[in-house]
A and B are shown apart, each in its own frame.
Chain A
Amino acid sequence: MSIIQVEGLKYKYPDTDQLALDDISFEVKQGEFIGLIGRNTAGKSTLCFALSGLVPHFFNGGYGGKVFVNGLEVRQHEVGDIAAHVGLVFENPFSQMTASKYTVFEEIAFGLENMGVERNEMITRMDESLDLLDITSIKDKHPFDLSGGQMQRVAIASVIAMKPKILILDEPTSQLDPQGSEEVFKVVENLTKEGITIIMAEHKIDKLAEYADKVALIDHGKLIDFDTPAKVFSRDDLPDYGITAPTATRIGKALGIKDSKTDLFPVTIKAISREIGDKL
């Protein structure tokens, strides 16, 4: 059974005349890592809202179709109940801070307290996610006295610590330094090994090519493609959707070098280096 099922999802923000999501259908299996790509205003964030119930419960407007997460139909359940199954990391970390906690440590605890996680377990999980995001050294700072990147790390840590079955991340690395971004992709990949399902909107195509199991390409609210990174990134019409291919794919195409494993253009630095290495 699929852990996420989206059937004919349509959505329009109030007072607008364009559909932000236009007849989207797809299914995701447990433990998959799905990358969400598309130009700005394609509808990535809106889809993230729809999967976590903020659409339609917080954003009104026109809604059609069905979304199931872990067996719950999103529309029929309150956001609070969906939150037990689905974690959401916001695009803007500042918007995610509860503003009612005095330290980073307490901020991260907030979700766990709500879930009724027992205190010792809570602290173990929090220490773990502080460590994963490399923010142990700022755990006693006030959540608003942080740099942008530090706040983004706190936002991610606070959701990861909740161990939701489905984890949705909306451009979680937009303010992270390069090594921090890489770490987040690694952390998230490790979570899939524990059976956690990942949906991640990202502009970092190179990284998605390396880590994602599948990529969903969205444009003007429509799902254009939903396939393996190799297939999606070797499409010739990517630029029409405002996307550049990964560095490896661009080089591969320019040189006419394919990945011998997939018979498509290579998408990762490893693959292109291997193929070119063989030819040199």
Chain B
Amino acid sequence: MNTIQVNNLHFSYTPGSSVLNGIDLELDQQTTAIVGQNGAGKSTFVKLLKGLLYPTKGEILFKGKNTRDYTAASLAKDIGLVFQNPNDQIFKNNVISEVMFGPLNIGQDDQEARHNAISALKKVQLDDKLDTNPYDLSLSERKMISIASILAMNTNIVIFDEPTMGQDFAGKEKLKEIIWDLRDQGKLIICILHDMDFAAEVFERTIVFNQGNVLADGPSREVFKQKNILQQAHLEQPSITQIANELGLDGNYLTDEELIQALKEKMTS
């Protein structure tokens, strides 16, 4: 099972200023969105899950074992993390070797790694850029390269730090497909997001971080109902929900279809 158990997790970069103050969570099969204010500790949290940082107090258990006992490298077979800033992740000078780097390290042979890399690049529609230097691509393309590099490793847990950042409509559609596809393969997906519409539409579960604590956690539909809590965490309701509220509709609307359906019924009656 791909379960991550987080117990009383504390973390600080510099002694005295705490970033995470005792987080208890169980992350399991559901697709999970993490939302929250800038500086709430979301990226820090996923770096801890990945073993890039170690807790100052508390523990993270993966398959029942404490991540503290593993190096980040040995966790790489199981947990993939797409960094927030693609420039922090990309270091090779052509696209294909960048995407093959992970697969080669976790024991795939050259042919298999190349195959996985190309199929991951196809998913983000950059398979025509194999020999390009990533520095000659725009930021949104680099973000997609960094996503492909993790997909190619075919890990059971995939964590995305703000994948929609800088993506256009088509890019977000691609991401939706990728996420749904991973879910159908039974993988655990965790995704940090600032795009509430995307979170509400794509994810089963939403966790709200606020100043190093979990402020709300539950089915996305329930979480996005709670206007006050969202407000407190510097978030907003999805735009569809906002329109429904503005119109004084009761009930809970997250997608275009739901709202249009309801309004059609209302207007004909």
Contact = CB atoms under 8 A, between A and B. Distances in A.
B194 A175 contact: yes
Given A177-B234, A178-B234, A276 B169 contact: no
B167 interface: yes
Interface stretch (B95-103, B177-185, B261-269): B261-269
A147 interface: yes
How many residues of A sit at the interface, in one of the four size bands?
A: 35 or more
B247 A41 contact: no
Interface in B228-264: 231, 233-236, 239-240, 242-243, 246-247, 256, 259-260, 263-264
Contact of B84 (A45, A175, A243, A277): A175
Given A149-B39, A174-B166, A280 B87 contact: no
A39 B174 CA distance: 13
B266 A280 contact: yes
Given A254-B256, A279-B267, A178 B166 contact: no
Contacts of A91: 139, 166
B170 A242 contact: yes
A171 B236 contact: no
Contact of A175 (B162, B171, B256, B263): B162
Given A92-B87, A175-B38, A244 B169 contact: yes
B38 A180 contact: yes
A251 interface: yes
B235 A179 contact: yes
Interface string A36-52: 00111100010000000
A255 B239 contact: no
Interface of B is mostly: helix
A197 interface: no
* A contact patch SS: helix
Nearest to A205: B169
A253 B168 CA distance: 21
Contacts of A242: 168-170
A251 B85 contact: no
Given A91-B139, A175-B194, A276-B247, 17 more contacts: A39-B170, A92-B85, A147-B38, A147-B43, A148-B38, A148-B84, A174-B165, A176-B38, A177-B37, A177-B235, A178-B194, A181-B194, A242-B168, A242-B170, A255-B263, A269-B246, A273-B246
Interface of A: 13, 15-16, 38-41, 45, 91-92, 94-95, 138, 145-150, 152-153, 171, 174-182, 203, 206, 242-244, 247-248, 250-251, 254-255, 269-270, 272-273, 276-277, 279-280
